[in-house]
Structure 1
Amino acid sequence: MHPQADILTITLNPAVDLATNVAEVIAGPKLRCAVPRFDPGGGGVNVARAVCKLDGSARALVAVGGAMGDRLLQLLAAENVPALPVAVSGETRQSFAVTDDSTGAQFRFSVPGELMTPTDAGHLLAAIAEQIPQDGFVVISGSVAPGLPIDFLSQIIAVTAPKGARVIIDTSGAALDRLIAHPATPVHLLRVDQNEAAQAATHPMTTIADSVAFAAELLARGVAKTVVMGRGAEGSVLVSQNHRFFSHPPHVKVRSKIGAGDAFVGAMTLALARGKAPCKALQWGVAAASATVSTKGTALCNLTHAEACFAKCQTDAL
């Protein structure tokens, strides 16, 4: 295993992911599905899984509750991903995906997590503060559970400061809107996808130049030191004060898009934790995402496939 800085991932709204397939998705009759696949899910959980699959190490701090929370921890243990469970009052949610064999289309369903209480929020923040790695990386990925304070991400960022940890964020919805609208300390890296960026910028991200311009605006406003913007199958843009890169993915057969963004964040974080240059870290992220979309259901990339994709990625300075 290569030397690396410590990585802690934080998942505030995890899920047990179920994936199956059926001959055809039609309304009305009972649809008899294939034997399902179960995986631990949620942004930070998948980031930690990806890091471990790529021969790195990461600890997954995860808010869990009820029997489904126990199931999630069992699934993490089966993959040898070190988990730091924080007990909360609500039951851990489920997500499920069904692939239509007749068309190859994938239907994805995500149910909301149960409402967290102020006590849950306090326990979570205290546990996070205790586990922050000195001079390591903290990845906050996925949605923020309902009931947590609107500024909960800012509270997490604040408790990382004394340890010198570098914060990487990949979130969406109101939490992302709040982070962009009210930046405090710039995070080390913010990843947004094309649709999230378009919504925040209130105009389409039609071209690579659009993505670069909006990323530069986020830097200037103090939101982040580095912004990575996904552009779907086209690739990803990285913008920092000194770097502007675009990485094109290789052509792969798309089987499932579940976890691709999380695999991207995991691979990129691992590369940075190993001291790789930003352009190489971006390339690793794109490679891992490409390897992930070519797997079935809720599976993620493996090292061999990610390495093969990495060799085929084209990364250019802008």
Structure 2
Amino acid sequence: MSRIVTLTLSPALDVATAVPRLYPDAKLRCAPPVYAPGGGGINVARAIQRLGGRALAVFPAGGSTGRHLTDLLSAEGVPSQALKVEQWTRECINLVERSSAQQYRLVMPAARLELDEQEQLLAALLALPRPDYLVVSADTSLGIAAPTVRKRSTVGAGDSMVAALTLKLAAGRQLAEAARYGVAAGTAAIITEGSELCRYADTEQLFAWLQQSAAGAG
């Protein structure tokens, strides 16, 4: 299996919760918070782990929120290398209004990295064994129609797609098959709640449907 490393410059401790309804000027009683590691590269590494692969997540981490994020990654069994920095790792809130099923994503500013911290992060990355795949950005587009599903959350859909695509390419699969697997994982993330990423069983089921559809179209 090829070696995959992800680099996240703006990690986050994601907090998912819900309220019955949003009202101005009132105390909103929230559901118990669910914490999860966040940030594009980190989510890619987490999704690769869920899909049966392995990736090393490299990122800066500061304060108690950074330690919490690192502990959560460790609990999931995701290999990571965190560089300790001065500013606290940001928290981002994913809030669902249950009466409308609408989701609100409150994204805090990323922690600022000092110049010496940037240099240390780059040095740590260069000190690693050379990876076959380095995932830095989750921005991509694919011309494959996704299956129609009931949307519960959009958090992590793009990251799940990039994770699955990278995992298949690392296994030597053709781009078309890897792209379909990416779409399947992105769609699988949409049917989960809060900050959840794709699930293996959902991804495999959707991928089988996409493969069958592609074969029929061919």
Looking at structure 2, the residues matched to 41 and 131 of structure 1 have their Cα atoms a distance apart, in angstroms, of 22
How many residues are treated as equivalent by the alignment? 214
Query: What TM-score comes out, normalization by structure 1 length?
Result: 0.65
Looking at structure 2, the residues matched to 289 and 273 of structure 1 have their Cα atoms a distance apart, in angstroms, of 18
Match of 1:138 among 123, 134, 139: 134
Cα deviation code 1:46-69 (max 9, x no counterpart): 000000000011110111111111
Partner residue in 2 for 1:261 = 158
Aligned runs of 1:70-219 on 2, under 5 Å?
70-134=67-131, 136-141=132-137, 170-171=138-139, 191=140
Structure 1 position 130, deviation (Å): 1.1
Cα deviation code 1:92-123 (max 9, x no counterpart): 11101110101110000010122211111110
Aligned runs of 1:52-63 on 2, under 5 Å?
52-63=49-60
RMSD (Å), alpha carbons? 1.4
Structure 1 position 252, deviation (Å): 1.2
Match of 2:177 among 249, 267, 280: 280
Looking at structure 2, the residues matched to 37 and 101 of structure 1 have their Cα atoms a distance apart, in angstroms, of 16
Contact 1:249–1:312 (CA<8 Å) still a contact in 2?
Answer: no
Q: 1:24 to 1:119 in 2, by over 3 A?
A: same
Structure 1 position 132, deviation (Å): 4.8
Cα deviation code 1:136-186 (max 9, x no counterpart): 100003xxxxxxxxxxxxxxxxxxxxxxxxxxxx25xxxxxxxxxxxxxxx
Partner residue in 2 for 1:30 = 27
Contact 1:283–1:315 (CA<8 Å) still a contact in 2?
Answer: no
Structure 1 position 312, deviation (Å): 1.8
Contact 1:7–1:133 (CA<8 Å) still a contact in 2?
Answer: no
Looking at structure 2, the residues matched to 10 and 296 of structure 1 have their Cα atoms a distance apart, in angstroms, of 25
Cα deviation code 1:8-29 (max 9, x no counterpart): 0011110000011110112111
Query: What TM-score comes out, normalization by structure 2 length?
Result: 0.94
AA aligned opposite 1:45: I
DSSP-derived class of the 1:123 partner: helix
Structure 1 position 6, deviation (Å): 0.6
Specify every segment of 5 or more residues in structure 2 that has no aligned partner in the other structure, as ranges.
none
Looking at structure 2, the residues matched to 310 and 286 of structure 1 have their Cα atoms a distance apart, in angstroms, of 8
Structure 1 position 315, deviation (Å): 4.6
Structure 1 residues 269-278 or 20-29, which shifts more?
20-29
Match of 2:187 among 286, 290, 294: 290
DSSP-derived class of the 1:248 partner: coil
